């Protein structure tokens, strides 16, 4: 394989230096610092006997949503699971999309290095109705911003990023069921409410969080979460797999680095087997 061909098979980062630090040293320090902050504050977390099956995390710039995302990634790190792959599902912000799109690349690059894409899972997704299309991924940040956390918490684990568009949640849940083996972790990338004042955002996001943990995806609307389609599909899959969804953190940009008059909501959730099993 020529160097030029290999170069075309690696997606370069689209938002390094804007959504997260552009240097390897700065990025590693940023992610490790947020994870350490969570660990120092997490002594009272309830312990669970079963491994995580997935997490729901936000995807804004790290100063805004990074501390909330770190809550879920720190929990994943604490579990110390041996994973074969990680599937990341999130929205396509810049290109209208029907169904699910997987990239054709061999790997995606961040300042921390390359993350290999899991080809066997990609083939299963294609067999179940996803399409191979790099366009929705070209400028998309919702999947990319998860990679540095994954690189620090689960180094060397292959991933499959999937851009999720409109599809009935039950059909999408069937696709997830086909690819979510016991040694696969699901990362659901979504922010919550957008551009309300802090009090309104808190009220709306609390309602959305209650619907998520109750598996009530039918009550969620597109304006409740920008990763609406991926989130609904993941809730439907978790319910069909008899899993629990647990709220870990619920804040907004008003709590981190934003204007309290125009905020974006962020939630972190764990998807896991019931502790009563």
Q: Residue 99 is part of a domain; what is its CATH number?
A: 3.40.830.10
- Domain with 146, as residue range(s), is 3-273
| Per-residue pLDDT tens digits for 148-196 | 999 999 999 999 999 998 877 777 788 899 999 999 999 999 999 999 9
**Rounded to an integer, what distance in angstroms lies between the CA atom of residue 184 and that of residue 199?**
37
Query: What mean pLDDT is predicted for residues 259-266?
Result: 94
pLDDT at 6: 53
Q: How many whole angstroms from its chain centre is CA 201? A: 21
Q: 126 Cβ partners below 8 Å, 6+ apart? A: 102, 132
Q: What CA–CA distance (Å, rounded) separates 125 from 2?
A: 28
- Provide the domain count of the chain: 1
pLDDT exceeds cutoff 80 at 255: yes
User: What are the C-alpha distances in Å from 238 to residues 62, 70, 147, 235, 251?
Assistant: 27, 22, 23, 5, 23
Distance of alpha carbon 186 from alpha carbon 89, whole angstroms: 8
């Amino acid at each position: 394989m020529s160097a030029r061909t290999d170069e075309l098979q690696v997606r370069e980062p689209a938002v390094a230096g804007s959504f997260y630090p552009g240097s390897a040293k700065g990025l590693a320090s940023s992610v490790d610092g947020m994870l350490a902050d969570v660990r120092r504050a997490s002594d009272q977390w309830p312990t669970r006997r079963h491994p995580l099956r997935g997490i729901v995390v936000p995807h804004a710039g790290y100063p805004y949503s990074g501390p909330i995302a770190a809550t879920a990634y720190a929990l994943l790190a604490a579990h110390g699971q041996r994973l074969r792959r990680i599937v990341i599902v999130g929205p396509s912000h810049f290109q209208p999309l029907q169904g699910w799109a997987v990239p054709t690349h061999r790997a995606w690059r961040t300042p921390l290095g390359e993350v290999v894409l899991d080809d066997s899972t990609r083939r299963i997704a294609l067999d179940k109705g996803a399409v191979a299309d790099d366009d929705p991924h070209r400028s998309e940040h919702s999947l990319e911003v998860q990679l540095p956390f994954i690189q620090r918490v689960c180094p060397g684990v292959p991933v499959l990023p999937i851009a999720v568009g409109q599809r009935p949640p039950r059909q999408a849940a069937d696709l997830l069921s086909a690819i979510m083996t016991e040694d696969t972790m699901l990362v659901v990338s979504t922010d919550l409410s957008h551009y309300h004042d802090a009090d309104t955002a808190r009220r709306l996001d609390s309602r959305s969080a209650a619907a998520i943990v109750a598996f009530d995806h039918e009550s969620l609307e597109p304006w409740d979460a920008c990763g609406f389609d991926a989130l609904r599909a993941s809730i439907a899959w978790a319910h069909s797999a008899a899993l629990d969804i647990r709220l870990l953190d619920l804040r907004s940009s008003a709590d981190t680095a934003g204007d309290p008059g125009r905020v974006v909501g962020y939630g972190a959730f764990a998807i896991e087997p019931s502790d009563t099993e």
